[in-house]
Amino acid sequence: MSDEIRGGVDDYTPDIYTLEDENGEEQAFELLDVMDYEGEKYFALTPYFEDPEKLLEYDGEVVILKSEYEGDEEMMVTIEDDAEYERVGKVFLERLSEMYDFDDDEADGE
């Protein structure tokens, strides 16, 4: 029984990725979910902050990126097509709300 406990919460280490934006600035992100959808692979990430003060300013932003390959290297890239972004974003929102048991009333501040 104690092995199960240690194998769960105690071993939780988030998957952190440092991504570079189009301006060359780096930001750390935590991977929330990965899914295959309509023949493509997508990632849902959220900004990662080690500083508790910055975490208090966090607005719940989720970034959705798409997998592309350059040679043998997999890259996370911006989704250029707005309709594709909206479709994938909606599916991720449903998946994440199930995974993290979000309540719409809590999100609205009620």
Task: Note the pLDDT tens digit of each residue in 30-75.
Answer: 999 999 999 999 999 988 887 777 766 667 788 999 999 999 999 9
Residue with tokens 């975490």: 55
Segment holding 53, helix H or strand E: helix 52-56
The CA radius of gyration of the chain, in Å to the nearest whole number, is 16
pTM metric for this prediction = 0.72
Distance CA 54, CA 29 (A): 13
State residue 45's pLDDT score: 93
Contact 47, 28 (CB under 8 A): yes
Distance CA 62, CA 60 (A): 6
